[in-house]
Amino acid sequence: MPVVGVNRDKLFEALGQTYTEEEFEELCFEYGIELDDVTSEKEMLRKELAGQAGADVSGASEEVIYKIDIPANRYDMLCLEGIARALNIFRGRQAPPQYRLADMSGKQLQRMVVRPETALVRPFVACAVLRGVALDPVRYNSFIDLQDKLHQNLCRQRTLVAIGTHDLAKIRGPFTYEALPPEDISFVPLKQTQEFNARDLLQHYLANDQKLKKFVPIIQSSLVYPVIYDSDRRVLSLPPIINGQHSAISLDTRDVFIECTATDLTKAKIVLNTVVAMFSEYCERPFEVEPVEVVDALGNTHVYPHLDTRQMEVDASYIRGCIGVDLPADQMAQLLSKMQLTASASADGSRVQVQVPITRSDVLHACDVMEDVAIAYGYNKLVKTVPKTVTVGKELPLNQLCELLRGECAMAGFTEILTWALCSHAENFEQLQRQDDGTTAACIGNPATAEFEVCRTSLLPGALKTLGANKDAPLPVRLFEVSDVILLTGDKGCGAANRRRLVAVHCDRAASFEVIHGLLNRVMEVLNVPYSEDADPVAAAVRQRLGGGYEWRADNDPTFFPGRHASIYFKDQRVGEFGIIHPDVLAAFDIVNPVAALELDLEPFCFDQFFQPMPTQIL
């Protein structure tokens, strides 16, 4: 969720009253935002500079800043203006503003002409003009912050949309939106004094600018870079990277030209609407926006922004049916106006007619209207009811069996561990002296933590890592885990599937093959799977019903000590192995005492009391 920092006193000024922290938290809670932190510029700077010798924070302001958590779909609340407006409307202090286009009859619209080459890199642009804006340092900062927040969230780090704002007095339309080879674009970028060509500029940002360098890859590999010129061939911006210095807005700027370039036109329109909805408040004629003509690559003319509200009609019975409260339509309409949705009840009271303003682009469906009725009504005023849905509780057979088996393993003297499904490639292969033939392990492309390279194909690494990390534990150490490994499956489904397994390790001064062997025998006993060679008639009868018993055969695997390894078979299928871990494997896992280990597939043993197999791979 985005967090927006706002000056507390300015916010209270806009809300027309002061609150205690508790009162403000309460208001936030009701509306669905959250007071995340209370701080100040000085405090934030102090934290940032913590530990740096001679850090001077004395210049920073001590005014209280509220850090407020905003739901990810409320782009209109990413600045002080938006938060104050939403809360004022919610409390009935203010009517929802009516955003409108300036009357341009007889006047020439600003025009942006789009060149076809932009389709190669960033095809869309939408623009607007705000006239007679009165900026002061607080508003100016809020304007910049809003653009930052929009870039981070809705614009998805500028990949979808990038906003450029310009002092209209310093540039001259008509403007052109072009895409040119980087060497052909040359200008003085914002906060620089020297001219760069676009290729050098991106190199410069990659090397020197922590903030801007992460946007460079968006266009760097493109043959042409997007650029906006005015009619005097002055560069307005090199979207989505940087604006030109020449047209930068300042406290003295009165007329603001806003351009949103995009790969997603819907988002560009929402972003443009959000910016003008917030800052048209400071225009000479508040909430009035001057439209701009955009001539697209095909020569078609579009006028932006689109400030029209959207009409929706929602059945009152739908709203009642979803919330579970018997509200009349006119009361729903009243509640909706608190959420910036101007609404009225239809004459017969069966429907609610809703005007969705440009700031509420999150409203897609009647359910969004229904939610706003519920929020304005108050979630905590709803009467609790219990669904009449009658169903039977049921555990998944495999999970239920594993619950039982876990208890049995603990009763057998083994202590349960819980290890990660993700591990390093080395832990899963090299450290176990196993080869990766590329057909078993699912691989992760982008781990934030280096040790998560693959999904485990065995439970052994987790158990061995646990032994290595618990060298101080009194001997013997006996551990077990019942958990899933992940194996590649070829074309089936998504190409990988979980398999439920049991792993157990026994670590002592001397290797104890017979202890781990005994656990296998005990596990099979509780699973009611007889040994193939068991001559007992009862065992033979069970084998008959199961279609076979289990057995173990001496085997050889580099993870295990030569001559101390056996494979386990159930109905002649290999289902696991046990033995003494090879000393080189122990060394790789930093274990100093001998270890005996068992790993067993559990899914073949998922059958019911009548020995009927139960499904384990269901999805």
Residues 18-57 contacting other proteins, CB under 8 A: 29-32, 34
Run of H or E residues at 62? none
- The piece of 44-52, 53-61, 417-425, 527-535 that touches other proteins (CB under 8 A) is 417-425
Taking the least distance from each CB to other proteins, the nearer of 484 and 551 is 484
Residue 374 engages other proteins in binding (rule: CB under 8 A): yes
Query: Before 476, cis peptide (omega within 30)?
Result: yes
Q: In angstroms, what is the minimal distance from the CB of 156 to other proteins?
A: 5
- The piece of 173-181, 300-308, 368-376, 505-513 that touches other proteins (CB under 8 A) is 368-376
Residue 614 engages other proteins in binding (rule: CB under 8 A): no
Residue 355 engages other proteins in binding (rule: CB under 8 A): no
Cβ 485 vs Cβ 499: under 8 Å: yes
Q: In angstroms, what is the minimal distance from the CB of 587 to other proteins?
A: 17
How many residues contact other proteins, by CB under 8 A?
107
- The piece of 164-172, 345-353, 402-410, 568-576 that touches other proteins (CB under 8 A) is 402-410
Give the whole-angstrom CA distance, residue 81 versus residue 79: 5
What single-letter amino acid sits at 434? Answer: R
Give the whole-angstrom CA distance, residue 485 versus residue 584: 24
Cβ 502 vs Cβ 409: under 8 Å: yes
Residue 156 engages other proteins in binding (rule: CB under 8 A): yes
Phi first, then psi, for residue 34 (nearest 5°) are: -145, 130
Q: And the tokens for 395? A: 């555990």
Residue 392 engages other proteins in binding (rule: CB under 8 A): yes
Run of H or E residues at 141? helix 137-152
Q: In angstroms, what is the minimal distance from the CB of 457 to other proteins?
A: 12
Q: In angstroms, what is the minimal distance from the CB of 398 to other proteins?
A: 7
Give the whole-angstrom CA distance, residue 204 versus residue 187: 14
- The piece of 48-56, 121-129, 389-397, 568-576 that touches other proteins (CB under 8 A) is 389-397
Among 107, 211, 233, 384, binds other proteins (CB under 8 A): 384
Q: Which residues in the 60-99 window bind other proteins by CB under 8 A?
A: 71-74
Cβ 279 vs Cβ 255: under 8 Å: no
Taking the least distance from each CB to other proteins, the nearer of 197 and 593 is 593
Q: How many CB atoms lie within 10 A of CB 406?
A: 16
49: CB partners within 8 A, 6+ apart: 55, 57
Q: Which residues in the 266-295 window bind other proteins by CB under 8 A?
A: 266-267
Among 38, 323, 539, 542, binds other proteins (CB under 8 A): 323
Give the whole-angstrom CA distance, residue 129 versus residue 288: 10
Residue 194 engages other proteins in binding (rule: CB under 8 A): no
Q: In angstroms, what is the minimal distance from the CB of 41 to other proteins?
A: 27
Q: Which residues pair with 405 in a beta bridge?
A: none
Among 207, 491, 533, 612, binds other proteins (CB under 8 A): 491
Give the whole-angstrom CA distance, residue 175 versus residue 587: 69
Q: In angstroms, what is the minimal distance from the CB of 413 to other proteins?
A: 5
477: CB partners within 8 A, 6+ apart: 415, 467, 470, 505, 506, 507, 508
What single-letter amino acid sits at 59? Answer: G
Cβ 451 vs Cβ 480: under 8 Å: no
Among 16, 132, 324, 349, binds other proteins (CB under 8 A): 324
Among 466, 523, 582, 588, binds other proteins (CB under 8 A): 466
Among 104, 134, 223, 396, binds other proteins (CB under 8 A): 396
Closest to 464 (Cα-Cα) out of 525, 415, 401, 506: 506
- The piece of 55-63, 273-281, 287-295, 377-385 that touches other proteins (CB under 8 A) is 377-385
Closest to 70 (Cα-Cα) out of 157, 122, 6, 164: 6
Q: In angstroms, what is the minimal distance from the CB of 369 to other proteins?
A: 10
Among 228, 460, 486, 595, binds other proteins (CB under 8 A): 486
Taking the least distance from each CB to other proteins, the nearer of 191 and 365 is 365
Residue 618 engages other proteins in binding (rule: CB under 8 A): yes
Taking the least distance from each CB to other proteins, the nearer of 392 and 538 is 392
Q: How far is CA 244 from CA 181, 192, 259, 561, in A?
A: 17, 9, 13, 69
